[in-house]
């Protein structure tokens, strides 16, 4: 047992987790994969109860059933196990947050927001953007019920439509309320009784294709700032590569033939002595580019199209 990863007397959660996250980050930079993994396991003795509190609170707030909560929890743990080392790490912070330190629960919730949406989408068999809309509906429904001092089942679709100020079509609200109650979405009901597997295949189309012209230019500009290697790392970051590549530790990822080929031809790299350090530095750069994009656009408008945008950019890379 490495006592360096144990909590010191008098350390707050913020102080403790910031300190050990930095230690794990430094081990990763040094290529000490096993030591970093062992260190994180030690930290989990303190981290798991905090993560469980977040999962419980968010599950109650979003009224998850047990199966969806389990799915949500698995997604949260998968994300936190990969990115814990970024906690209060200046290299991965937005410029506006430079110098700030956040509570560990804030970090967990902010970095796993999409896990809730994805778990609900998976549970109900709907696209991710519709799950996000359903979460909005649930939040508004709770507010209306509290204001009127009635049960939530007394809140009608028309009341939700009015409160949402017509930002969600009434038909969409009605359909999502049906889905929430266990009915098949009208969007996937076949026009005939003949079953076709194609109707249930999920591909990139679930991410959407329609972007306002005001969104396209900043997105294109952001993509132009990324080298082919940046895009490869971005695809891994968002889990859009093969299952094998997505699961790789960075120290293994940087020695793959594809990484090495892109690494050797990347003209933006100043030093080629340490590919692992370069990968982490590039990840920090990518996060800053996306953070700047977040400052220029309403991410709710483009979130569903980002995966498609990344994949299209990756298709243009010559390997």
Contact 115, 59 (CB under 8 A): no
**Cα–Cα distance, 112 to 173 (Å, whole number):** 25
> Torsion angle, CA of 190/192/197/203, rounded to 10 degrees?
-30
**Cα–Cα distance, 229 to 318 (Å, whole number):** 11
* Token reading at 105: 């629960």
- Give the residue from 110, 117, 105, 113 showing the smallest Cα distance to 64: 117
pLDDT at residue 1 in the model = 54
pLDDT tens, position by position, 115-142: 888 888 888 888 877 888 888 898 899 8
Matching residue, tokens 């076949």: 190
Give pLDDT tens digits along the chain (319 positions).
Answer: 567 899 999 999 999 999 999 999 999 999 999 999 999 999 999 999 999 999 998 888 888 888 889 999 999 999 999 999 999 998 888 777 777 889 999 999 988 888 888 888 888 888 877 888 888 898 899 899 989 999 888 889 899 999 998 788 888 888 888 887 764 443 433 333 332 323 222 233 333 344 455 556 777 787 888 899 999 998 887 777 887 888 788 888 899 999 999 999 999 998 888 888 898 888 888 877 777 766 555 544 444 456 667 777 888 888 7
Q: Where are the domains of the chain?
A: 3-116, 125-187, 213-315
Reported as type and span, the H/E element at residue 214 is helix 213-224
pLDDT at residue 206 in the model = 31
pLDDT tens, position by position, 142-177: 899 989 999 888 889 899 999 998 788 888 888 888
> How many CB atoms are located within 10 Å of the residue 219 CB?
18
**Cα–Cα distance, 108 to 126 (Å, whole number):** 25
> How many CB atoms are located within 10 Å of the residue 238 CB?
16
């Amino acid at each position: 047992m490495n006592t360096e990863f144990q909590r010191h007397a008098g350390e707050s959660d913020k102080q403790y987790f910031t300190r050990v996250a930095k230690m794990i980050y430094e081990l990763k930079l040094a290529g000490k994969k096993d030591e970093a993994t062992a260190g994180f396991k030690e930290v989990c003795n303190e981290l798991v109860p905090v993560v469980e509190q977040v999962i419980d609170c968010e599950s109650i707030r979003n009224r998850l059933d047990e199966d969806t909560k389990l799915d949500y929890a698995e997604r949260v743990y998968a994300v936190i196990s990969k990115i814990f080392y970024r906690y209060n790490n200046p290299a991965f912070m937005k410029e506006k947050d430079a110098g700030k330190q956040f509570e560990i629960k804030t970090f967990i919730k902010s970095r796993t927001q999409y896990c809730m949406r994805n778990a609900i989408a998976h549970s109900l068999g709907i696209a991710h953007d519709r799950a996000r809309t359903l979460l909005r509906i649930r939040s508004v429904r709770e507010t209306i019920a509290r204001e009127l001092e009635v049960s939530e089942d007394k809140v009608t679709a028309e009341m939700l439509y009015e409160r949402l100020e017509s930002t969600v079509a009434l038909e969409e609200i009605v359909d999502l309320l049906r889905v929430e109650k266990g009915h098949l979405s009208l969007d996937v009901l076949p026009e005939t009784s003949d079953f076709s597997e194609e109707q249930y295949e999920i591909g990139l189309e679930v991410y959407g294709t329609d972007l306002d012209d005001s969104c396209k230019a900043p997105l294109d500009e952001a993509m132009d700032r990324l080298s082919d290697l940046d895009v490869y790392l971005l695809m891994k970051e968002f889990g859009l590569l093969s299952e094998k590549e997505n699961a790789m530790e960075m120290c293994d990822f940087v020695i793959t033939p594809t990484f090495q080929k892109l690494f050797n031809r990347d003209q933006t790299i100043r030093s080629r002595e340490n590919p692992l350090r370069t990968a982490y530095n590039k990840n920090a750069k990518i996060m800053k580019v996306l953070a700047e994009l977040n400052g220029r656009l309403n991410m709710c408008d483009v979130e569903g199209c980002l995966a498609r945008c990344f994949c299209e950019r990756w298709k243009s890379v010559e390997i």
